Amino acid sequence: MGSGAEDGRGLLHLRPGRCLMDLDPRMTFDSFVVGPANRMAAAAAKRAAESPGKGYNPLFLYSDSGLGKSHILNAIAHHSDRYHPGGTVLYQPLELYLSELTDAMANGSEARLGARYQSLDLLLLDDVQFLEGQPEAQEMLLRLLDRITARGGQTVLASDRSPAEIDGLDSRLLNRFSGGLIVDIGPPDLETRTAILRRKAEERGAGLAEGVLASLAKAPFRNVRELQGALNRILVLQELEGRPISVEELPALIQGLPGVRVQVAEGRAPSRQPPAVPAWRRRLEAAAEAAEAEGIVATRLRRLLEHPREPSGWESALTDFETALDRIRQIRRELESLGNPWPEAAATLLRNPDRLDESEALLASARERARGFAPLPDGPGLERLGEDMPRLAVRAADRLLQAESPDYNPLFLHTPSQDRGRSFLAAVGRTHRSRNPEARIAFVSAAEFAEEFIDALARGVAGAWRERWWTVEVLLLYGIQELSMMERAQDEFFHLFEALKRRNSRIFLAADRLPSAFERVDNRLLSRFEGGLVVDLGEEARSRPEEAAESPRDTAPPRAASASAPLGRPGGGTPRPGGSASEEELELLRQLATVGAPDRGGDGDSGAPVGLRGSGEELEGVWRPSRERVVWDWPAVEEQIVEDYSDRGQAEWASKGR
């Protein structure tokens, strides 16, 4: 477009191959008057011109005739040439596309025509409503849109009705349009009409008598094109008569123009009385103007006003419109109170009472997204759990809460008692709440999580449900083993897990068994569980180390300290003076040194190390730990050690000949 030239008519001709239709150089974004009814369309159009294929693709604009669609399409082409001088742009009405398609089908050159269109960087199609009853054209356009999009190109379409109102439109095309952005351009409000008239008068270099612009802007023209026609008539008369037209003359001058149904008045008596306006027309007109002044599309009422005689059922139609309008106002207020998470969608839907169902769905999604999580039960925090919970678990939980970049996430806790796991997670939540009162904490069972997800699917708010869960800062999920019966919930939890990890949220999980003992659980989830830190919470009455070592569920080495051993770490307790160990603890260390050693005549003192090659099963009487992370808890402060027996650690152990 940069190499275009103007002819005597002021039309811009592009070099061959750039565009098949002349552009009006006056129709740019600079000359486009933006108001509440077209602000979103103008912003989306400018974005499409500046960043084709990267925003809303396709962009579908629709409105009644004469409200600026063609101006916007011209402006996109001009703006695109300014930003991307080397790009290929095509702007033409759909009728020309259909004509070319018919010729190509007649002479067998569809492939050549398709290749020409597919090479475009920006396709601008006007009057898309003529796709109605054209299945072959719809099929070709569908392929064209897919190929232009695949190349990173941009498509902008304009129509006098929404895609859903185009009879016989292929559902695949409707899906493509809905996948981009559909924007309705409404009639301009009084201020915008006044600004349009002022700009047009300035472009013509014409002056108008005081009050003429304001009075003309109040005339009930149906669109901008009719408004400009009235202005042109006044300017021509001024030129012919060599004098300005007064406010008093306006009614007689514009009364016969298209779209004018009532007489304009500026507080003065008109030169002649207009015919009486029927009551039904006055009521519909007043309701339509009030709605449009509020930025609401009143197409339903305007269509009734097009009837030359009183339409049947107009009163019930007006009542339905006003009821929908009241509901739209309620939805708008509630959305604002909920933070309006999707302002662009709301701006489009809340302008059209005919899309009330979609507005209701948007509100339901916003409510779901803003819904809080169940409060934590009352009880102590981590620091007051007492000696019943292993100090290692308390210390590991506190570290995960406080670390800026934790070494492990999630913390997986296993205990045969679900109540014990639930109580521990609740204490974790209360500790975090005391430090961060506004934090988003989710404390829930796996079964409740699955039920919530199913309910969200049933209510059609699954997307908002996911966004709500993605805002969680600390996830406390107990009864994880119950996911084994819920394949769909497993998949949903996997994606939630990944999203929370990316946000650096902290994840605490509790189950009645080790991850390696789970059945029918996605391996992706198991690898995430095992990739964190796995800690045994023990049983309710577990207090003696001997009992822990004899527990049939244990797959880790005997604990090197009792659950009640005091440790000088957050969580309470005081280290034993000098760090000395009791006889009971020393005996456990001796047992640990011989775990996995073969029986050599019963001396029990081989000094053999723990076997590290097995899979958690007992083979020929030799204990071998599973691939879970193994944790050692030493009683003395200066000897607290946490070792992770990973594959790498095993290799290092073997290489040193141990």
Percent of the chain clearing pLDDT 70 (strictly above)? 75
What dihedral do alpha carbons 428, 434, 435, 440 form, nearest 10°?
70
Q: Within 13 A of 603's CA, how many CA atoms are on the CB side?
A: 6
Give me 204's structure tokens.
């013509």
Assess whether pLDDT exceeds 70 at residue 404.
yes
- Alpha-helical (H) ranges within 151-249 are 171-179, 190-204, 212-218, 224-241
Q: How far apart are CA 11 and CA 506, in angstroms?
A: 63
Assess whether pLDDT exceeds 60 at residue 620.
no
- Maximal C-alpha separation, the chain: 128
More confident residue, 321 or 289: 321
Assess whether pLDDT exceeds 60 at residue 589.
no
Q: Which fold has domain 5-184?
A: Rossmann fold (3.40.50)
Work out the pLDDT band at 275, boundaries 50, 70, 90.
Answer: low
What dihedral do alpha carbons 557, 558, 562, 567 form, nearest 10°?
-30
Per-residue pLDDT, 552: 39
Least confident of 93-102, 165-174, 549-558, 627-636: 549-558
Domain boundaries, the chain: 5-184, 190-268, 282-370, 542-658
Q: Encode 386-420: b = buried (16+ Cβ within 10 Å), e = exposed.
A: eebbbbbbbbbbbbbbeeeebebbbbbbbbbbbeb
Per-residue pLDDT, 4: 40
H or E stretch including 336?
helix 314-337
Give me 389's structure tokens.
């919970």
Work out the pLDDT band at 584, boundaries 50, 70, 90.
Answer: low
Q: How far apart are CA 347 and CA 325, in angstroms?
A: 14
Work out the pLDDT band at 583, boundaries 50, 70, 90.
Answer: low
Per-residue pLDDT, 571: 36
Give me 144's structure tokens.
């064209």
Q: How far apart are CA 370 and CA 357, in angstroms?
A: 20
Per-residue pLDDT, 168: 83
More confident residue, 143 or 6: 143
Closest alpha carbon to 567 in 638, 641, 636: 636
Work out the pLDDT band at 476, boundaries 50, 70, 90.
Answer: very high
Per-residue pLDDT, 548: 38
Q: Which residues contact 45 (CB under 8 A, 6 or more apart)?
A: 29, 59, 61, 72, 75, 76, 156
Per-residue pLDDT, 628: 45
Give me 171's structure tokens.
């559902």
Give me 374's structure tokens.
């169940």
Q: How far apart are CA 507 and CA 446, in angstroms?
A: 13
Per-residue pLDDT, 106: 81
Per-residue pLDDT, 318: 92
Assess whether pLDDT exceeds 50 at residue 599.
no
* Omega within 30 of 0 (cis) for the link into 353: no
Q: How far apart are CA 49 and CA 41, in angstroms?
A: 12
Q: How far apart are CA 298 and CA 531, in angstroms?
A: 58
Per-residue pLDDT, 22: 62
Give me 316's structure tokens.
């019930």
For the ranges 235-239, 445-449, 561-565, 646-650, the maximum mean pLDDT occurs at: 445-449
CATH tag, 190-268 = 1.10.8.60
- Residue 403 is classified by DSSP as -
